[in-house]
Amino acid sequence: MSAVAACLLTLAAGQVQAASRYAAMVVDGHTGKVLYSRNGDALRYPASLTKIMTLYLLFDSMAAGKFHTGSLLTVSRNATRQAPSKLGLKVGQKIRVSDAIRVLVTKSANDIAVTVAESIAGTEKNFAKLMTAKARKIGMRRTSFKNASGLPDKNQLTTARDMITLANSLMSEHPKKYAYFKLKYFTYKGRRYRNHNKLLFDYKGTDGIKTGYTRASGFNLLANVRRGNKHLIAVVFGGKTSRSRNATMRAILNKSMPRATARVTHKPLPVIKKPVQIAATLNVPEGAKAIAIQPAYKTPVPDGGFHIQVGAYSRQTDAKQRLTAIQQMAGEIITGHTPLTVPLVEPNRNLYRARFAGFTRQAADSTCSRLKRRAITCVVMSAE
């Protein structure tokens, strides 16, 4: 075989390999409808998209009071031995949780991913088990995690659909902390790091979420775009270069945007009188008004101390719109369960949690599982 023929054969093989890694999906964030899919359920390597789940579990731990933004995490010898990209801290050095979050989002440092994992679970192996368990809980049916960083592991696999489920669930469960993913730059000890997600800089409406790359995975990108009244969540796997991956992402977003559902702004619905009495029935904290989305329901709320939360929004109209959309998509699954927006007042911020009420724990778990099979992200919550 001539050198030229060998070169052409090698090039062809590389193109086939690159094509075999490609997968992509775009989902309407308002309705859950798949607007574009290529190999959407095929197994792929997540690369540094893995760190989204690492951060998700860190946010969970913070919500549970185990860590706060000022908590110090200690870098282990194992963490320092990780392959680049790295922050480069030495054994025994400490990093604040707030800095760890920012450096994972921007620089995607593998040593800090391991530091987070070991701080939460003792070992990275134990943490990976927690990651996979969380994946199953939120409806990532085909994903398995083996490490916290996304460094190569043949058994660490996911799908385009699962990654969109991950992004949607994180935004729903931790809407305030999700804002970290739109960070463009981060300065640590005098050095400035730029976010690898170029769509944050040049694609209108992008507010996150993350890039990834290994030789086995190709160039990956998970993106969240809110433009006007529309919301798209999209993922691309297997780009040959970061430039071609970004171009592909823009193309499928542009193709999907005209078919996305614009948010419907509802006129304010009448609030059921005696909201304190409603709150007592649903075990909502004193002073928080549980606002019924469909006050036409006249049947009593079914027995049970659990809700199914399907989103959390800064505007009550968005929470109402999400509940209405789910009733249209899966009305037979949640029929008889009162839709509510439950306000959560935080400093300088009001949050409206979109929920369906009146479940036992067993019924809530079963119903949420059925919703996830329709690509509807949900979380079972105690009726506080």
Q: What is the pLDDT of residues 95-109, one digit of tens each?
A: 999 999 999 999 999
Q: Is 2 a member of any domain?
A: no
The answer to whether position 6 is within a domain reads no
Looking at the structure, do residues 118 and 56 belong to the same domain, yes or no? yes
pLDDT in tens, 283-339: 334 444 444 444 333 335 445 789 999 988 878 888 888 898 888 888 889 988 999
What share of residues in the chain are helix, strand, coil (percent, to 5)? 40, 25, 35
Domain of residue 289: give its range: 275-382
- 220 plus 326 within the same structural domain: no
CA–CA gap between residue 212 and residue 239 (Å, rounded): 10
| pLDDT for residue 61 | 96
Residue 140 in domain: yes
User: How would DSSP label each residue in 275-337?
Assistant: HHHHHHHHTPPTT---EES-TT--SPPPS-SEEEEEEEESSHHHHHHHHHHHHHHHHHHHTTS
Looking at the predicted structure, is the pLDDT value of residue 87 above 50? yes
Is the residue at 192 inside a domain? yes
Q: Rounded mean pLDDT of 1-6?
A: 46
Query: Cα separation of 86 and 104, whole Å?
Result: 10
Together in a domain, 64 and 151: yes
pLDDT over 60 (residue 16): no
Query: Residue 380: which pLDDT band, with cuts at 50, 70 and 90?
Result: confident
Out of 82-96, 123-137, 201-215, 253-267, least confident range: 253-267
Indicate the residue among 230, 259, 288 that finishes a domain.
259
Q: Give me the sign of the Cα torsion angle 284, 289, 294, 296.
A: positive
Domain annotation covers residue 4: no
Contacts of 70 (CB under 8 A, 6+ apart): 96, 97, 98
Cα three-residue angle 19-155-125, rounded to 5 degrees: 140
The yes-or-no verdict on residue 344 having pLDDT over 90 is no
Q: Which of 225, 259, 293 is the last residue of a domain?
A: 259
**What's 308's domain CATH number?**
3.30.70.1070
Same domain for 185 and 281?
no
CATH of the domain at 187: 3.40.710.10
Instruction: Judge if 27 and 169 occupy the same domain.
Output: yes
Same-domain pairing of 143 and 57: yes
Residue-wise pLDDT tens digits, 132-143: 999 998 889 999
Q: How confident is the model at residue 347 (pLDDT cuts 50, 70, 90)?
A: low
Q: What is the mean pLDDT of residues 346-359?
A: 80
In-domain check, residue 266? no
pLDDT number for residue 377: 83
Same domain? 60 vs 157: yes
Residue in this structure with the two tokens 């549980």, named with its chain if needed: 290
Q: Which of 292-296, 346-350, 362-366 has the lowest mean pLDDT?
A: 292-296
User: Which is higher by pLDDT, 342 or 68?
Assistant: 68
Report the domain count for the chain.
2
Tell the burial category of 381 from Cβ atoms under 10 Å away from its Cβ (0-12, 13-18, 19+): middle
What pLDDT does 315 receive? 81
SS3 212: strand
Same domain? For 241 and 120 the reply is: yes
Q: What residues are paired with 380 via a beta bridge?
A: 308
- 144, 156 in Cβ contact below 8 A? yes
The answer to the question of residue 126 being in a domain is: yes
- pLDDT of 1 > 60? The answer is no
Comparison of pLDDT for 333 and 373, the residue scoring more: 333
pLDDT for the residue numbered 346: 61
Q: Are residues 241 and 281 in the same domain?
A: no
325 and 363 in a single domain? The answer is yes
Residues 100 and 177 in one domain: yes
Separation CA 120–CA 292 (nearest Å): 38
What digits encode the pLDDT tens for the residues 214-247? 999 999 999 999 998 899 999 999 999 999 999 9
- Asked if residue 9 belongs to a domain, the reply is no
Give residue 303's pLDDT. Answer: 53
- Look over the chain and give the mean of its residue pLDDT values, rounded to a whole number: 85
Final residue in a domain of this structure, among 199, 225, 259? 259
Per-residue model confidence as pLDDT tens digits over 249-289: 999 999 999 999 987 533 333 333 333 333 333 333 444 44
pTM of the model: 0.71
Are residues 210 and 292 both part of a single domain? no
Residue 32 pLDDT grade (very low, low, confident, very high; cuts 50, 70, 90): confident
Residues with a catalytic annotation lie at 48, 51, 108
Fill in the DSSP letter of residue 267.
Answer: P
Task: Give the tens place of pLDDT for each residue, 40-86.
Answer: 999 999 999 999 999 999 999 999 999 999 999 999 999 999 999 99
